[in-house]
Amino acid sequence: MTQTSETSKHRIVDAKRIVGLLTRLNKEQVALTLRQLNGSDQEWYVCIKEIEYAEGELLMTPLNNLGKAQTELPDGHYHIHGKLAGVAVQFDTQIKPPATPLGFDAYVGHYPKAIYYHTRRESDRIGIWVDQKIPVMLQLEGKVFLKGHIHDISARGMNANFYRVLPVQVGEVAPSCVIEMPEGAPVRSKFAIKGVTISDDANTLSLRGRFLEMNDMDEKRINKFVGALEKSLATSQD
């Protein structure tokens, strides 16, 4: 069965936000799955190597499939999907060979006119775009502090990257979570840790979890911030 992007919940059409999301896929080297829009079940795997902003093109390099080299990717129209933190991303593009040899295996795809996504959580968690940095500080037990920035956020929780790697356990509750909002005073709560990821290459700690015991005023401010962020993505409900 042909996979179509219209099955997703949100639709991004704003050009700036499309570029922002493609840039995240590029910077995080997200593995993308391609399938031709002709009913074929065959899949190919790539990542975005470069973004040619002026030409409106994506330079994509093939990934091995379970350690095996892939067959060559034919020219044509493709459906692409991949996963960012908490969000499944989908879009369609046309693949063509490079105009001039590049010296390495690569495919060229056109910028999509729309990107669709749906969240994989009970509350929508929206990614903080590459041009934004929302600082956050956690106080762990024993007055140990972690400083970092938010990767994605919902009204109920967040995923944040911290610049210091410490032994943190799933189920642990941070007595204090302070988010430096772009406007106004900080938002404060406790924070229940639901997931821990350590990046040895970047020497960073990623923590995912839920806000606890947030006061009514700060809860309203978080809801307003997440709502405004979603609106800025130029999304529409399908």
Write down all domains in the chain, each with its CATH number in brackets. Answer: 5-119 (2.30.110.10), 131-237 (2.40.10.220)
pLDDT of residue 189: 96
pLDDT of residue 230: 66
pLDDT of residue 40: 72
pLDDT tens sequence for the chain (238 residues): 333 333 336 778 888 778 888 888 888 888 899 998 876 778 888 899 888 888 888 998 888 765 666 778 888 899 998 877 556 789 999 988 776 655 567 888 998 988 887 655 444 455 554 446 789 999 988 788 999 988 888 888 988 889 888 888 899 999 999 999 888 899 999 999 999 988 766 578 889 999 999 999 999 998 888 877 766 554 433 3
Angle made by CA atoms 121, 198, 151, in degrees to the nearest 5: 45
pLDDT of residue 217: 94
Q: How far apart are CA 29 and CA 43, in angstroms?
A: 18
pLDDT of residue 178: 96
The pTM assigned to this predicted structure is: 0.53
Q: Which two tokens stand for residue 162?
A: 């911290």
pLDDT of residue 177: 96
pLDDT of residue 54: 82
